[in-house]
Amino acid sequence: MPVPWRSSVEVLAASLAGHGLDAANVVDVDSAWQAFSEFLQVELDGVDQDPDCDADGFIIQWGRHSWNGHCPSLTFTRQVAIVDADDQDGTCTDSEYWQVSLKMRFDDGPDLTGIGDPPEQDTGFKFAPIGPRRRAALTEVRADMDQHSPLRAAWHTTPTDSDLTLDRAD
């Protein structure tokens, strides 16, 4: 049964808690990944059903960004296209994009020095449907990230802080 999309941040928070994590104080990136992977399998109510619309996907981002004080960071994001409640035809052009993001920041350390150096600093959006295809996409993304030593290091480093948000995508 789908859960209300506006409750999606609470759903991810509950999944994190199920793995012994507090969204405001993630201490294990691998457990956070497991919780995020579970969250990506939850059907959300209100998501645009237009088959031509990339309505439900995920992206992983990393690097050093000004909004994180240039600290090394790793962010797990699910983006969904939500059909406006007043929308009559349900087309993708009438959707609003929303993102649930778990942002984790790290102290600088020699293992994380190159986290902003790879030519890419995200996985690109993946829109595999919920179920086996999404599980396969998650496995592929995780294996690709493991090819970058700073990302591998981040996976085994305790974040200094984290936060969980639901925001409208710009």
Which residues, other chains included, contact 99 with Cβ-Cβ below 8 Å and sequence gap of 6+?
A: 77, 78, 79, 80, 165, 166, 167, 168, 169
| DSSP category for residue 130 | T
Are 57 and 79 a contacting pair, CB within 8 Å? yes
pLDDT for the residue numbered 89: 53
Phi, psi of 152 (to 5 degrees): -60, -40
pLDDT for the residue numbered 3: 95
Are 57 and 134 a contacting pair, CB within 8 Å? no
Residue 150, SS3?
helix
Are 145 and 33 a contacting pair, CB within 8 Å? no
Are 162 and 104 a contacting pair, CB within 8 Å? yes
pLDDT for the residue numbered 116: 80
Find residue 33's DSSP bridge partners.
Answer: none
Are 63 and 148 a contacting pair, CB within 8 Å? no
pLDDT for the residue numbered 93: 55
C-alpha 78 chain-centroid distance: 4
pLDDT for the residue numbered 109: 86
Residue 114, SS3?
helix
Phi, psi of 61 (to 5 degrees): -125, 150
Which H or E element spans position 66? none
Q: What is the pLDDT along the chain (170 residues), one digit of tens a residue?
A: 899 999 999 999 999 999 999 999 999 999 999 999 999 999 999 999 887 788 999 999 999 888 778 899 999 999 999 986 444 455 545 789 999 999 999 998 888 888 887 677 899 999 999 999 999 999 999 999 999 899 999 999 999 999 999 999 97
